[in-house]
Structure 1
């Protein structure tokens, strides 16, 4: 979908999004990921990429791009989207993580329940 919509631009910068999705998957499968920090990093990386693409006639040092990222909160280049998305993603992924962990624990709990029920019926 992204490739069809954004074409070459997406393909050249896809690792920013792939890294985001990898970290989200790592979080909901039980990895030690700080969602807020991870999302902040995503928006900083996205800003750096977009800044470079929009100003492609210039070459920027890593220090300069890091400086641009430091002022993201004051400049709000993406408006209120990062704050809103952070709240929605955090809420959704906390629920997803809990659900996935429940699915992983579920079979063992069912087996123990069956054993208890079987013993109760035998008594």
Structure 2
């Protein structure tokens, strides 16, 4: 029972999506979306991100490792309509739930409104 509770308190609870930023692409003249994720827990997680469009179609968007307390920024896509951001996590977990092909934990966030960083926002200058 304790291992199951620890499993439920893993990456699904620990990692949050802070924001999605819209930034200009330096050479191509179009805007790109980046997600900022924070690990509020005490575990190290490997992650794999996908952007989900209507109809359940997913496009891979990034992968890496996020340390406890760390904030990572990952490129999501060229600015375009999408439904959600899906992240699969792997990490140390004492439960008996086997990892699936994508990871141990799956977390999904509905597509938030992107923000423009303060240094780009002319209304704030």
Q: Answer yes or no: same fold by TM over 0.5.
A: no
More strand by share: 2
Normalised to the residue count of structure 1, the TM-score between the two structures is 0.27
Larger radius of gyration: 1
